[in-house]
Structure 1
Amino acid sequence: MQPVVLFQDNIKAVHDENEKEVFEVYKPIQRPDDGMIIHGLFIDAGRWDMKAMKLVDPKPGEINPPLPAIWFIPKTRMPENDPRYVAPLYKTSVRAGVLSTTGHSTNFVLPILLPTDETQSFWILKGTALLTQTTD
């Protein structure tokens, strides 16, 4: 399956213009045999480089750039010694929530592996995470 890039800003503009969800805007995307394609996530303290197809530092003044549509393949366990950044996905940019019995915040959704040339500690020290919504 060839990657298809849809920018959520363009998708949202079509929906806003029609004042409803317009399913035709998703037609360039083919349904994968496994997993799903998701869009609408944002990056906090990082950005997605479309040419290199990896997580990189944000541009100066860039706050919460969108992540393009991605092919999401859930796994039961993470591969050992995986060089990708384990990006936490949060519901909101506040990141705070009630601590659940699993030890995670109720604001935490799941980890998502993102390709990068940097180490885990590089992104952790920056506080890099994915968000389902931003704060205006």
Structure 2
Amino acid sequence: MSMTLYVILTLSDVPNTTALNEKAARLKTPLEFSENIDLRTHSGFLPIKLGGEPSGVETYTSPYSEFTDYFPDFDISPYKEPVVITFRWGGDLNEMVVALNSAYLLSHDVVATVFEPQSGMFLTSEQVKEGADAMFADGL
């Protein structure tokens, strides 16, 4: 079963993986991204180490306009050039932890919204982090 997680943010706030690594270290997140990948143009599997072990997640960046039917009532007024970063993974719980932590890093300290479609809920950056921490603490 494929699962997804969406992060809505402004295009200029989408970092490359080198900047994400710096943020991950500063925020003590257990991720290490492959260096110098531009998430604004990346499409497909993104290799990421979780706690030093190889993992990753499918990652796609799309214009928000491709999601207007999916988020018909979402207020995009705070976003200049809004984009949606999609994280997709299968049944591997480590990949879920990678996706949650990645969404946390992308949404921390910028105007961003995380949407978890399985529950239909919009989440704050801190809610995403709490979920990732709880799963990682359980020994994944």
User: Which band: TM-score by shorter chain?
Assistant: under 0.3
* TM-score, length basis structure 1: 0.28
More strand by share: 2
Greater RCO between the two (CA within 8 Å, min separation 6)?
2
* TM-score, length basis structure 2: 0.27
